[in-house]
Amino acid sequence: MRHTQLRSFHAVAQRLSFTAAARELGVSQPTITTQVKSLEQEFGVELFVRRGRRIELTETGAGLLEIARRLFADEKEAADYLNETRGLRTGHLRVGAVGPYHVTDMLAAFNARHPGLYVSVTVGNSRDTLRDLLDYRTDVAVLAHVDPDPRLVAIPYRRHRVIAFCPIDHPFAQRRSIRARDMEGQRLVVREAGSTTRRAFDQAMREADVRPKVVMEIGSRESIREAVAKGIGMGVVSEAEFIPDPRIRKLPIADTEIYTYAHVVHLKERQKARLVHAFLQVLAGLLPVSSPSSRRRPSNSRR
C-alpha cells in the first residue's frame, strides 16, 4: 500500500466524490480513480459502491476510513511537532465553533502569541462541530454544551448573559432594563428549539412561570435582528452576540440571570499534540470561569 493510494482514498471517502477529492489534493480526477482502484485491486476488496454518479462507502471502506483518519491526524501531528521544534513558526490550527463570537478573543490571543501559525475556523451547528472534532477534521472546538464523553476534555471558558432586545418604537424601548414578568405575552422572535440561547431562555421563563408568545422561529442571529428591527417582536440573544443597531434597543433582564456558556473541547488523546497544547496554554492565560451546574442562577446567588 502506498501513501498516495491511502491519501486518495481518504479524500474520496470524506467527500464521497472523486472529483472533489481531486480538487482538494490538486491532482487530476483520473489520478484519484487510479489510486483508489489500485488499492482495491492490490487487496482484492471493494472500498466504494459505484452507483452511477453516486458512490457510497462499503463496510470495508468505512473501516479503512476510520484508520485513515487516525493515520492522517497522526501525520498532521508529526508535522506540527516538527513545526513546534522550529519554535511554532509555522503550522495550521483548525478550530471548529458554533459561533464566531466566542472564539475571536481566544484566537486574537493565540495569534498574538504565535503570529506565524495559520488558523482556520469552521463555524457550524453543535452537532457538526462535535463530529468534525471526533473525526480529526478540527483540532479544538468551541461548544456551548458538551455531553459527558470519555474521549473528550471540555474546559469551561466563558459565560455570557442572555439579554432581550426590542425595536425602538416598542413600549419597552425607553426602559433601561426589564423583568422576567414583563415578557409575559410578549411577541418573541427566537432561534430554533435546539439552540443554546433558546434552551437557556425557555428554561428561565418556565421557572419564572412566564409565557412569552413565540411568533417566529429563525435559524440565524442576523435574521432575528432584522425581524426585531422591523417590529415583528422582541428578540433574545447572548450579550456577546448582540450587535448595536440604531433600530433596536438592548434590554437586560434585571431580576433573572440567564447565561449561555462556551466550552473549549479537544480529544483527550490529542491533549499533548503540539498545536492543541499551544492553544490550551494560551487559553489558560485568558479569564477562566467555573463549570456551570445550571444555565440560570437567581440574582441573590450571584458570584
Partner DNA sequence: GCCTGGCGGAAGCTAAGAGT
Partner DNA sequence: ACTCTTAGCTTCCGCCAGGC
Which helix H or strand E contains 10, and what residues bound it? helix 3-15
Which CB, 24 or 202, lies closer to DNA? Answer: 24
Instruction: Report d(CA 253, CA 207) in Å as an integer.
Output: 14
Q: How far is CA 76 from the centre of its chain?
A: 21
Contact between 17 and DNA by CB under 7 A: the answer reads yes
Choosing from 4, 58, 90, 111, the residue that interacts with DNA (CB under 7 A) is 4
Q: Helix 274-284 to helix 100-113 angle, to the nearest 10 degrees?
A: 100
For residues 72 to 91, the per-residue mask of contacts with DNA, x marking binding by CB under 7 A and - elsewhere, is: --------------------
Choosing from 14, 27, 113, 214, the residue that interacts with DNA (CB under 7 A) is 27
Contact between 31 and DNA by CB under 7 A: the answer reads yes
Choosing from 14, 34, 122, 125, the residue that interacts with DNA (CB under 7 A) is 34
Contact between 58 and DNA by CB under 7 A: the answer reads no
Q: Which stretch binds DNA (CB under 7 A): 26-34, 141-149, 183-191, 277-285?
A: 26-34
Q: How far is CA 147 from the centre of its chain?
A: 14
Least spacing, CB of residue 198 vs DNA, in Å: 36
Which CB, 18 or 165, lies closer to DNA? Answer: 18
Instruction: Report d(CA 159, CA 254) in Å as an integer.
Output: 17
Contact between 3 and DNA by CB under 7 A: the answer reads yes
Instruction: Report d(CA 160, CA 262) in Å as an integer.
Output: 8
Choosing from 9, 11, 13, 36, the residue that interacts with DNA (CB under 7 A) is 36
Instruction: Report d(CA 65, CA 13) in Å as an integer.
Output: 7
Instruction: Report d(CA 73, CA 83) in Å as an integer.
Output: 15
Pairing of strands 248-251, 152-167: antiparallel
Q: Cell digits for 232?
A: 415583528
Least spacing, CB of residue 65 vs DNA, in Å: 16
Interacting residues with DNA (CB under 7 A)? 2-5, 17-19, 26-31, 33-37, 48, 50, 52-53, 55
